[in-house]
Structure 1
């Protein structure tokens, strides 16, 4: 299967890279500038120490070019493709000081992104043959949401709303405030619909079976069933009866996701894709040659 994850917004990617490089070398790389001759060149190979799914090839290159545009970088595998331990994923050649300065930031980002893509691919494979799509959540690393969500797409997953500005998603704390003020959720949704533009998606989270009908009847686009058992999810899907998308959330792991998907839900949101993914073991093997 070929995956087209799209692109990362250029402004978001540049912000991530510039911030990371400033953090890692605020006043330059004192080690390389002291020990490495200014005319030395280096060729480095991005090598896989374990199998996985690649994400961040272009990010790796962008880090190198941000440090020094003269660096030549070639990526040998497309984002979203699987690789084996020992595979060469990219090669860079250029001024040794620049390659060494970019090394850690470039590795940190591609390792993090590939770890997320690899984890996502495992979840997607586990629900194959069902109607359920695997999506991420807003439980992302602050400042890295754009690249982490891209990595989810590289693994075959899809994205939930990008930010609080994108859609209405009333969760348990929103409902608690409404109930404390004496406003039924159905009434609040109906009133909100009158104020919102017709393109704004409305989703509401519930944690009890008896909450489903009033929410769906109010005209939501998606209802999130939070921490429901698989039996309760099946019941909930039956109550909704196609009037809205049904999202399952809470308690989702690789051990449980197949059973959740089998209940007939449309969406399974998995915070672990981004908040718990392990960085993949990739290395940058550098060979240095003295200049003429």
Structure 2
């Protein structure tokens, strides 16, 4: 099945990543050491318990260098697997498989790390009704992939960039001389989705009166969040944000907020320990 992700060009990503690795001279080690007609078989496996993300992208690296490579996918994308689980079996040209190995592993390690950490946060708020959101705290150039990985882990995507929703933050408020005026300007510009960051209870009423469609409740303790949710009274979605950790997220979720956004799931996720071992045929 072809991997399709809105706004992401898989072929271009694979080509650019391989070009970065190959540089002007190619894989000089494999070309010197591995016979041109050598064929390998390999097994990619996880050394950690993980939520798997990035298998079709990893596969694309091998197919780009050996269109005839045989790949058997042993688990499903998004599956939670224990340490020691085999993920892929591959058979193909030895040089091509060695050349593609690092790019494929880097990608699946990074994306599975994000999906695994995301799932931990989702599990931590299970049963509260709150929904986990990702943020724009992503590595430049990898936002679509990283946000894909958070969805695989069970989160929902927040805005993709600066273009698909207004988000009025403290600097916008300062320049506009107040929350209400900043929101009024966004509404006058015809923007449909107006997310407003508030860090004080007294900002809620003017933000709503001016036309906010979503309130981001920034760095509020659970008791203040509960008060804020009560004041909003379901008129717009509410989002807890700022300094959320696995230790604090449950208490915030139990205040009744609609969403909780967590930058850590993309910004601080450790790479999953995934390896690939080959032998010759």
TM-score between the two structures when normalised by the length of structure 1: 0.92
2:157 equivalent among 159, 170, 184: 159
2:46 equivalent among 39, 45, 48: 48
Deviates more, 1:127-136 or 1:18-27: 18-27
CA contact (8 A) 1:59 1:106 kept: yes
**1:189 maps onto 2:187 in alignment:** no
Offset of 1:149 from its aligned partner? Answer: 0.6
- Counterpart of 1:243? 235
Q: Relative to 1, partners in 2 of residues 1:16 and 1:118: Cα closer, same or farther, differing over 3 Å?
A: same
- Counterpart of 2:269? 277
Show structure 1 runs of 5+ residues with no match.
1-5
CA contact (8 A) 2:130 2:259 kept: yes
Offset of 1:194 from its aligned partner? Answer: 3.2
Offset of 1:207 from its aligned partner? Answer: 1.0
CA contact (8 A) 2:118 2:150 kept: yes
Q: Relative to 1, partners in 2 of residues 1:158 and 1:11: Cα closer, same or farther, differing over 3 Å?
A: closer
Question: How many positions carry a matched residue from both structures?
Answer: 278
Offset of 1:130 from its aligned partner? Answer: 1.1
- Counterpart of 1:227? 219
**What SS does the aligned partner of 2:9 have?**
helix
Offset of 1:7 from its aligned partner? Answer: 4.5
Deviates more, 1:146-155 or 1:69-78: 69-78
- Counterpart of 1:114? 112
Q: Relative to 1, partners in 2 of residues 1:232 and 1:10: Cα closer, same or farther, differing over 3 Å?
A: closer
- Counterpart of 2:32? 34
Offset of 1:192 from its aligned partner? Answer: 2.5
Offset of 1:187 from its aligned partner? Answer: 3.0
- Counterpart of 1:286? 278
**What SS does the aligned partner of 1:80 have?**
coil
- Counterpart of 2:256? 264
1:24 equivalent among 21, 33, 45: 21
- Counterpart of 2:204? 212
